[in-house]
Amino acid sequence: MSSQPPRRATRADVARLAGVSDSTVSYALTGDRPISDETRERIERAMAELGYVPHARAAALASKKPSLVALHFPVGERGIDISDLNYVNAASDRAEEEGIQMLMWTHDVTDIEALRRLVTQGLVDGLILMELRQDDARVEYLTTTRLPFVAIGRTRESEELSYIDADFDAWGPMAVNHLSDLGHVEVALVSQPSEVVESGYGPVVLTESSLNAQAKRRGMTVHQVNARANIRAGREAVEQLLRQHPGITAVIGFNAPAMIGVLEELAAQGRRVPEDVSIVHFGISPEQAEMTVPAQTTISAPGGELGDVAMALLIERMTNPDSPIRHILAPPVMVDRGSTGPARRR
Amino acid sequence: MSSQPPRRATRADVARLAGVSDSTVSYALTGDRPISDETRERIERAMAELGYVPHARAAALASKKPSLVALHFPVGERGIDISDLNYVNAASDRAEEEGIQMLMWTHDVTDIEALRRLVTQGLVDGLILMELRQDDARVEYLTTTRLPFVAIGRTRESEELSYIDADFDAWGPMAVNHLSDLGHVEVALVSQPSEVVESGYGPVVLTESSLNAQAKRRGMTVHQVNARANIRAGREAVEQLLRQHPGITAVIGFNAPAMIGVLEELAAQGRRVPEDVSIVHFGISPEQAEMTVPAQTTISAPGGELGDVAMALLIERMTNPDSPIRHILAPPVMVDRGSTGPARRR
DNA sequence: CTGTTAGCGCATTCAC
DNA sequence: GTGAATGCGCTAACAG
């Protein structure tokens, strides 16, 4: 390992060694104006020799252009999985295309004090919010701030908020119609813990209500259970559901760990999927859906699109604070993995 | 929503409004020298009126003190779960105590090009690496750089690397001794996918070898399977193991999703835990261990300690580049959740 | 094609 | 107790 030089080389060091002026070095770097091949060559040699690394934060200070944004990814009860990574990577890729770095910030949604520190320290030029609540304290706080931000997800009153979100109002009907077309008339919904619903978590609230509305229209009965996000809770939930409502022919899931338990319990009871019970699962990634036995048919948002568009929205707002508020809804995508079939005859 | 002021207020604006000099405002903020109550009062009023927010990145530039570090958390095949969050939160808490913000960076371990961009853009003052490989290209690259970094985990040749790591050499013996004391002489090891092992992932490599060595000493036979990280793979693995080696009385796991499958398959076969088969699981979080039916006895690293110490190490290196290289090993912790018992009589 | 100059927002040394 | 001056590393006019 080479011994560490005492301090990092600066543009001035490079300029001196190359025998040119400071700004020439800058321009050689950015290519913002023509440089003769010869001086460019000298500059590059000097940079290499000094191990010169431009200091992006100083550049950002001087140019007043955005260089660093954060994605607020509150890793709450459920953690981060590969499906979330689709968002994250898409957003980050989009940022890098624009020469902006994106880092993740993982504090709890409710930790407004930490958010305040992040913002008031002026460490980032913009923020993307995820896991929006219907009433979201972060949004309230950030609107009192000059920091540009957009959301993946939305609040109840979101007129003033730029966001992209999955069109959850279409999720429920998509599931109901699919199952109803297959002849199912009595189904179970294994949803998320009641705290999550009560805290006003948009996806669940919107999906549940669109599902119930459409079920009513199609004459379908829905028995809902709010299960904790673990395997055991899923087993217990489905055991009880099937005991109390033997007419159930399909389970709609919105809770990945619990649905593992549901599948376990069905297998333990000797019920086959999809011959005896059909399964549809909201919002999980292909990886999660393929992981279980059997694989699950899913209805979800289009992977990276949300992240990509969100970053584009943020960049627009950072570049031009007067750019219009945007609301974008991404339609759901259903992937059939064979876990649904015609309803068992009653 | 209030209309947005044209630009953010600066220290100069505050100084002008308060009728004091720029530096006085700085000192009022930092408290680095005595300020009369009266001027402090005026300054505070001015700050409030202007909605002044200090600009941390400019401050960092001027003071040459670190203000932003990144935690490289490669979210690979397995994602991030709550157990990882212990590290993340502990590190981040420690950073904030020192007035430093920590953000996460989630690119793939192998994406050195992206790492190079992160570093050469000079966006962060330091870096914590996670998920170290035995030969880790990131370490190689970063040592050619002036950027301070430390690791949670270690490489094969880690003399020059400051790290904290779990003492995996103690994991294997802890599991072997525990089971051997209970009379188990033939056990299964459901480990991670062979690519992971071949890529030289330290925890697995070290744990496996310490386990095998100790098993030999204690006269224990270990049948190892490298299962993919999903439920189905775990089911298949244990089914085959028990068929080929009916003498197996315990399963040692190092693969959370696969072990869910193992438990499912044992239940499906009517084998009870721990009466028929004992279970010990390496490296999963309490949350994961409690989630399954039955809960699993675990041997893991002490949650937040790794993150906390890693950040402390990094801060030391950033503050004083000449500080000594440190190697710290954290002893394993076993939590008995009742999934192990005396070996079934053969 | 290249150099000079004046900042970006702040910390800090040196004065008073 | 307070102010003025200098510089962190870089960008971006303004000058040739």
Same domain, B80 and B184: no
* Whether the Cβ atoms of residue B192 and residue B229 lie closer than 8 Å to each other: yes
* pLDDT for A192 beyond 50: yes
Nearest to A257 among B85, B121, B291 (CB): B291
Long-range residue pairs from B41-48, CB within 8 A, at least 24 positions apart, any chain:
B42/B18, B43/B14, B43/B18, B45/B18, B46/B13, B46/B14, B46/B15, B46/B17, B46/B18, B47/B14
The answer to whether A62 CB sits below 7 Å from nucleic acid chain D is: yes
Question: Is there a single domain that holds both residue A97 and residue A192?
Answer: no
Nucleic acid strand D: bases within 7 A of protein CB: 1-5, 7-13
B223 and B296: one domain? Answer: yes
Sheet holding B221-226, edge to edge: B221-226, B186-191, B250-253, B278-282, B297-300, B333-335
User: Which protein residue lies nearest to nucleotide D9, measured between its Cα and the C1' atom?
Assistant: A58
Can you give the pTM of this predicted structure? 0.79
Nearest to A103 among B77, B96, B105 (CB): B105
Q: Are residues B30 and B47 in the same domain?
A: yes
Q: Do B281 and B309 sit in the same domain of this protein?
A: no
Q: Do B103 and A103 touch (CB under 8 A)?
A: yes
**Chain B: residue nearest A113 by CA?**
B96
Boundary residue ending a domain (A283, A300, A317): A300
pLDDT, chain B, mean: 89
The yes-or-no verdict on residue B222 having pLDDT over 90 is yes
Contact criterion met (CB below 8 Å) for B271 and B339:
no
**Contacting B residues, span 133-152, partner chain A, CB-CB under 8 Å:** 143-146
Q: Which residue is nearest to nucleotide D10 (CA to C1')?
A: A59
Whether A234 and A315 share a structural domain: no
Q: What gap in Å lies between CA A254 and CA A226, rounded to an integer?
A: 10
**Residue B346: which pLDDT band, with cuts at 50, 70 and 90?**
low
The answer to whether B264 faces chain A, any CB pair under 8 Å, is yes
User: Residue A59 falls within a domain, yes or no?
Assistant: yes
Residue A162 sits in the same domain as residue A311: yes
CB B224 within 8 A of CB B230: no
**Domain hosting residue A15, numbered range:** 11-63
Top-confidence range, A141-145, A188-192, B196-200: A188-192
Q: Which of residues 202-231 of B touch A (CB under 8 A)?
A: 230-231
β-pair type (B163-166, B221-226): unpaired
Task: Indicate if the pLDDT at residue B2 is higher than 70.
Answer: no
Percent residues over pLDDT 90 in chain B: 49
CA–CA dist A291, A286 (Å, integer): 8
AA letter at B272: R
Most confidently modeled range among A319-323, B38-42, B337-341:
B337-341
Cβ of B48 under 8 Å from any chain A Cβ?
no
CA distance B230 to chain A (A): 5
Distance of residue A274 Cα from the nearest chain B Cα, in angstroms: 18
Distance, CA of A180 to CA of B247 (rounded, Å):
50
Distance between the alpha carbon (CA) of B60 and the C1' atom of D14, Å: 30
Q: Which chain B residues are Cβ-neighbours of A290 within 8 angstroms?
A: 230
**pLDDT (mean) for A231-251:** 95
Q: Is the pLDDT of residue B290 over 70?
A: yes
| pLDDT score recorded for residue A2 | 34
Note the pLDDT of residue B79: 63
Does A87 reside within a domain? yes
B81 pLDDT tier (thresholds 50, 70, 90):
low
Q: Which range among A72-76, A112-116, A166-170, B82-86 shows the weakest confidence by mean pLDDT?
A: B82-86
Give one word for A132, left, alpha or beta, with left for phi > 0 and alpha for psi -120 to 50.
Answer: beta
**Nucleotide lying nearest to B23, CA to C1' measure:** D3
Q: What is the pLDDT of residue B82?
A: 64
pLDDT of A4 higher than 50: no
Looking at the fold, whether A84 and A190 belong to one and the same domain comes out as no
- Res. B269: pLDDT tops 90: yes
Tokens 């941390």 sit at which residue? B56
Does residue A111 lie in a domain region? yes
* Same domain, yes or no: B176 and B296: yes
CATH code, B218: 3.40.50.2300
A51 lies in some domain: yes
**Does some domain include residue A252?**
yes
The whole-angstrom distance between B177's CA and the closest CA on chain A is 30
Number of domains comprising chain A: 3
Report the percent of chain A where pLDDT is more than 90: 50
Contact check, Cβ <8 Å, B75/A82: yes
Q: Is A230 within 8 Å of B291 when comparing Cβ atoms?
A: yes
* Positions in chain C where some atom is under 7 Å from a protein CB: 1-5, 7-13
Residue B292 to residue A104, Cβ atoms within 8 A:
no
Residues in chain A: 346
Beta carbons of A95 and B106 less than 8 angstroms apart:
no
B209 plus B279 within the same structural domain = yes
User: Which residue has its C-alpha nearest to nucleotide C13's C1'?
Assistant: B23
Partner-chain residue, chosen from B79, B101, B235, that has the shortest CB–CB distance to A123: B101
Is B346 contained in some domain?
Answer: no
Does residue A338 form part of some domain?
A: no
CA distance B81 to chain A (A): 4
Measured in whole angstroms, how far is the alpha carbon of residue A331 from the centre of its chain? 15
Residues A211 and A295 occupy one common structural domain: yes
User: Mean pLDDT across the stretch B235-260?
Assistant: 96
3 state DSSP class of A302: coil
Query: Does A346 reside within a domain?
Result: no
Residue A3 at interface with chain B, using a CB cutoff of 8 Å: no
Q: Do A104 and B106 lie within an 8 Å CB cutoff?
A: yes
Q: In sequence order, what DSSP letters do the residues of A128-173 get, joined into one string?
A: EE-S-BSS-HHHHHHHTSS--EEEES--SS-TT--EEEE-HHHHHH
Question: To the nearest whole angstrom, how far is the Cα of A191 from the nearest Cα of chain B?
Answer: 17
Q: Judge if B232 and B314 occupy the same domain.
A: no
Domain at A48, CATH number = 1.10.260.40
Tokens of A133: 């609540």
